[in-house]
Amino acid sequence: MAEKKLEDRLEGWGDKIANSIDYDRLRLWKEVFFHPADVLAGEQKNASLGRAAKDVFIACLPTMLFSLVFVLIGFAYFGFIIFAIAISAFQEYAGAIGIGGIVLLILGIILYFLLPIIGWLLSSAIQFIVAKIFGGKSDFKTHAYLTGISTASVRAATIPFMLFSLIPCVGYVAGPIITIIGFYRYYLHYKSIKIAHKLDDVGAIIATVADIAIWTGLIILGVVAFYAGIFSLAYMKPGS
């Protein structure tokens, strides 16, 4: 009973925020967050890849802007390391390396803002393939649309807590809440897959977990490849 009252109170706050902003898609995201089964089932008829891509981008934009300064610091840090090593190994190409670094920075920023859409499409593709292996009935457009609005729902829900994290002391509470909400996305994806493909629990869970496992493996491989490249460049001799 206490859990139901807390859920009703949280949904009430969500209603107030959605009504104050007066954005129809925000109201939909709120409904997906609190009533996923009914809303996702009803939204299948509205499936659109373009609409889902726009939802994902808009919902992720505040977080991306908030994190941009840290991303730029990361680019500058790793860029300086790579630039310094490259200059020491290939001094005669210093000008070209400098121009290339600027071009890569610009491309990196553009890619940064496209990453939510790219990540959503790739995750949807992985889930879709695994769901089909287990007898999934949905087409890719419907599948991706449902996972897209689920992703947008979770991203939008983290925005207030992201702002709270800027307040001293309160940030210690906001951080874990953001993490918990982030994990809730996988539950919404599970519901999306189950509803769209008419799968049983096992098939929907495997499709959801397969996506997580593949992304985790790719991240580990990316980190290993990055540092392997750094060490290779550091020990490369000019003219070799």
Distance of CA 166 to the CA centre of its chain: 21
pLDDT at residue number 184: 93
pLDDT at residue number 105: 73
Distance CA 33, CA 36 (A): 6
Distance of CA 170 to the CA centre of its chain: 24
pLDDT at residue number 204: 94
Q: Would you say 97 and 87 are in contact if contact means Cβ atoms under 8 Å apart?
A: yes
pLDDT at residue number 240: 47
Containing 164, the helix (H) or strand (E) segment is helix 140-164
Distance CA 138, CA 153 (A): 21
pLDDT at residue number 97: 57
pLDDT at residue number 55: 96
Domain assignments of the chain as residue spans, ordered by start: 21-234
Cβ-based neighbours of 207, under 8 Å, separated by 6 or more: 127, 130, 131, 134, 136, 193, 197, 199
Q: Would you say 119 and 23 are in contact if contact means Cβ atoms under 8 Å apart?
A: no
How many CB atoms sit inside 10 A of residue 71's CB? 13
Residues lower than pLDDT 70 in the chain? 1-8, 10, 14, 74-102, 170-171, 226, 229-230, 232-240
pLDDT at residue number 199: 94
Distance CA 40, CA 162 (A): 26
Burial 163-174 (b: 16+ CB within 10 A, else e): eebeeeeeeeeb
